[in-house]
Structure 1
Amino acid sequence: MKNKVLIIGGGAAGMFAAIFAARNGREVHLYEQNEKLGKKLFITGKGRCNLTNAADMEVLFRSVVSNAKFLYSSFYGYTNEDTIRFFEEIGLKTKIERGDRVFPVSDHSSDVIQVLQKEMKTQGVQIHLNTKVKEILTKEGRFDAVILEKGEKIHGDACIITTGGFSYQTTGSRGDGYQFAAELGHKVTELMPALVPMETEEVYTHELQGLSLRNVAVKILNGKKVLYSDFGEMLFTHYGVSGPLMLSASSIVGKRLLKQSLELQIDLKPALSEEQLDQRVLRDFEENRNKQFKNAVHKLFPAKLIPVMISLSGIDPDKKVNEISKEERQRFVKLMKAFPATLTGLRDYNEAIITKGGVNVKEINPATMESKIVPGVYFAGEVLDLDALTGGFNLQIAWSTAYAAGMNAGIAEE
């Protein structure tokens, strides 16, 4: 008789663990509370599904924000190259885009879910939709069974918890896995939204709603201390800032931001030094020397940004360019190199891509993902205290940890 593995949660990690447990000769049952699998996977990467990142291992580890060392075994045990090869082999063509981000050629996340479902069917995984697990039972200190919401008791040799986090609650993320873990005696670290937009204080940032800035450098400071700095793309919203740069920043400064406000500085012209930018502005001013200031800066900024920059410059908009003093011009240059805003807080879980915090990884075997507290119970994916920057890194955490759990679940009992 085959050993029986029960998997709770049909997201990325759950489906992946199911495939490898089944390939490894287990009888696999996957329980998903929603009416379909992969609801969160469907909306990742703006519906395109950024599967993984093709960068080398060093970049992968550097992009993990929490507990990178814990992932050593699983990242090397199942690499990003393995992930790409796996999807290609089960019929999904992939492509690599800017920043080594890997997407399906079709740009449809539904195709990712489709090939995973097809492979589960091929491997004989039994999928139970609209089925919520209410409790996990142990016997003599090890896993014994799960109890479904309707009261049915299902015995198994191992259980893999892949319930995800709190983020995108519209997809059914309710944090059940944290509750299961706590009931089994695990410690769950402090939870908070991560890869989430941030709120700003200034009215002018809200007026810039919809403006996307590419190739800018940002710094987030607490007094004089730089907490985060990077280069890339960001977006202004009706409440503050979003876009890849700001989402990644939220994972680094989020904890601090829950306690106090922080200063955001945007370098609008990072390719130029202050001196070079001053020369550039001088040339523009020379060309427009008889125009009013407000009509002389159109080459420097997107249209939406012009009124805000003029207002913050402190220079009279109607002043003739040839009347602007050197001090005023240099202040204007400094403004372009450090456009200011005050970060006041994080948006909530409904706008967060992932949850920071989770099951304490010190209580998990990093090679197998098995609980050190309750043998026969395994964890994979976002339910663990693991998170990374944007760019496909979080899904790689899901695939690598799910592979380890799927390959090891149910082995010890044989």
Structure 2
Amino acid sequence: MKQIVIVGGGAAGLMAAAIAGREGARVILIEKMNMVGKKMGITGKGRCNITNSADMSEFIHNTPGNGKFLYGVYERFSNTDLLNLLHSWGLKTKVERGGRVFPESDSALEVRNTFIKVLKKYGVQVHTNESVQKIVVQNDKVTGVVTDKESYACDAVIIATGGKSYPLTGSTGDGYKLAALLGHTITDIRPSLVPIVIKEQWVKNIMGLSLRNVEVSIISKGKTQSSMFGEMMFTHFGVTGPTILSLSHTVGKLLRKKNTNPITISINLKPALTAEVLDKRLQKDFELYSKKQLINGMKDLLPQNLIPIVIGLAELDSHKPINQITKEERLRLCHVLQHMTLTVEGLRPVEEAIVTSGGISLKEFNPKTMESKLVQGLYGAGEVLDIDAFTGGYNLQAAFSTGYVAAMHIVHGDD
């Protein structure tokens, strides 16, 4: 019977432990926090976006951080395989907008509890409040693990410690140290899926304002580098929300390059309308409110607290009577409504990111088995590896699939 130690009780570690236990291995799961699945319990605003219903090729496309590495992994364990497995464990799911899959109960805790129940069923030993200090290797082969409490002999170890984001859930980069001690390369650790810091001070005035159905574009060197349609929100330091988090990957790449400044964000507040149609719409509103001041004539078009900002950006007098607004001024207003510009100052720190970009180099792992090419019996799974995806369930699927593939290979080899 194979003896396996799994380091880290997040999504990848829980899946690996459940599968290895199911396949008959003796499994010890070591988690330094006081419970497993802590980060999983807060993902998706506490609802846990388990995966996406998209085709697996879309998963690769939505994983800008080394998505191609996952081809072999997804062939062995796809989103359909994951959902079939979770359903067989009694977890009911539903699909929402954008193909996002959530538990029917809308509770991330139910997902975590499902895994805990399965680990008990398969006799997995779960050790919480215990921290792995080193992985023991003899003759280039894993032979054991030493923690702050005990030493364990084993045939294989899976490092599934997560990245460096959300340190309060236990993701503090421990896995990078363990892998580096065994000769593995750690790539540059950066935030991904992270809010963006903005130079303009007026964002503070509309802190908390959410915008829906807007198009957000990242501009550098006069070119659109990336665009996304959806929701965003203003904060005291800048912007956040689904579109911003996904576009932060592009911003991060541009910030690391030379001569990309300034990087700007252009927001189209009315992406469904052409410039001509928007102008006609504005003329209609202006006719309706012709006797009012400009600030009171745009209430049908924009959220109340955004109106003075848009007028200011168009360099217009908010108290000017609407019937005195010239065509040139109106067109300026139209332009701002479709090209509201913000200047990027940087990204929030990695600790505030949903996902970490960078990690243990994938060049040193077999994409079909998740086994290290440097040390026999050493495996990597989940966010500790140099893999990161956009929001929408893609990151959790990567964690579940790599954990599954690692466990199956340890128990059954290449058959």
- What's the TM-score, normalizing by structure 2? 0.97
Partner of 2:337: 336
Give the alignment of 1:304-323 within 5 angstroms: 304-323=305-324
- 1:100-179 superposed matches below 5 A: 100-150=99-149, 152-179=150-177
Amino acid at match of 2:368: A
Distance 2:77 2:152 in 1: 30
8 Å CA contact retained: 2:59, 2:67: no
The answer on 1:221 being equivalent to 2:226 is no
SS at match of 1:61: helix
Structure 1 gap ranges (5+): none
| Superimposed CA distance per residue, residues 20-50 of structure 1 (whole angstroms, 9 cap, x where no aligned partner) | 1112221111001111110100110011000
Rate the CA distance shift 1:413–1:388 in 2: closer, same or farther, 3 A: closer
- Partner in structure 2 of residue 212 of structure 1: 210
C-alpha spacing 1:261/1:173, structure 2 compared with 1 (3 Å): farther
Give the C-alpha shift of residue 185 in structure 1: 0.7
Asked if the contact 1:218–1:266 (Cα under 8 Å) also holds between the matched residues in 2, the reply is yes
> Residues 250-329 of structure 1 correspond to what in structure 2 (within 5 A)?
250-257=248-255, 260-329=261-330
Q: Distance in 2 between matches of 1:413 and 1:69?
A: 21
**Counterpart in the other structure of 2:370:** 369
Tell me by how many angstroms 1:288 deviates: 1.5
Question: Structure 2 regions of 5+ residues with no counterpart?
Answer: none
| 1:164 counterpart letter in structure 2 | G
Partner amino acid for 2:136? Answer: L
In 1, Cα distance between the equivalents of 2:184 and 2:204? 42
Deviates more, 1:258-267 or 1:383-392: 258-267
Q: Percent identity?
A: 48
Quote the residue 2:33 is aligned against.
34
Structure 1 segments, 4+ long, off by >6 Å, are none
Q: What residue is the counterpart of 1:246 in the other structure?
A: 244
RMSD over aligned Cα atoms: 1.4
Distance 2:384 2:354 in 1: 13
Q: 3-state SS of the aligned residue for 1:344?
A: strand
Tell me how far 1:311 sits from its aligned partner: 1.6
Q: By how many angstroms is 1:412 displaced?
A: 5.2
Other structure's SS at 1:275 match: helix
8 A Cα contact 1:63 1:393, kept in partner: yes
Report Cα offsets for 1:135-161 as digits up to 9, x if no partner.
Answer: 0110001111111113x3211000000
- State the 1:258 CA deviation: 5.3
Alignment match, 1:235: 233
Q: CA offsets, 1:189-227, max 9 Å, x none?
A: 111011010110101112110000000001111121222
SS in 1 for 2:114: helix
Over 3 Å counting, the alpha-carbon distance change for 1:268 and 1:226 in structure 2 is: same
Q: How many angstroms does 1:348 deviate by?
A: 1.4
TM-superposition CA deviations, 1:40-70 (whole Å, max 9, x none): 0011001100000011122211111111111
1:144 counterpart SS class: strand
Aligned residues: 412
Question: Contact 1:141–1:375 at 8 Å: present in 2 too?
Answer: yes
Q: 1:296/1:98 Cα in 2 relative to 1: closer, same or farther (>3 Å)?
A: same
Contact preservation (8 Å) 1:257, 1:344: no
Q: Secondary structure at the match of 1:279?
A: helix
Instruction: Give the C-alpha shift of residue 257 in structure 1.
Output: 2.9
User: Quick check: 1:96–1:103 contact (8 Å CA) kept in 2?
Assistant: yes
Give the letter for the 1:379 counterpart.
Answer: G
Q: Which residue of 2 aligns with 1:185?
A: 183
SS at match of 1:64: coil
Q: Residue 18 of structure 1 corresponds to which residue in structure 2? A: 17
Moved more, 252-261 or 372-381: 252-261
TM-score w.r.t. the length of structure 1 is: 0.97
- Counterpart for residue 95 of structure 2: 96
Task: Quote how far apart the aligned CAs of 1:334 are.
Answer: 0.4
The amino acid of 1:206's aligned partner reads K
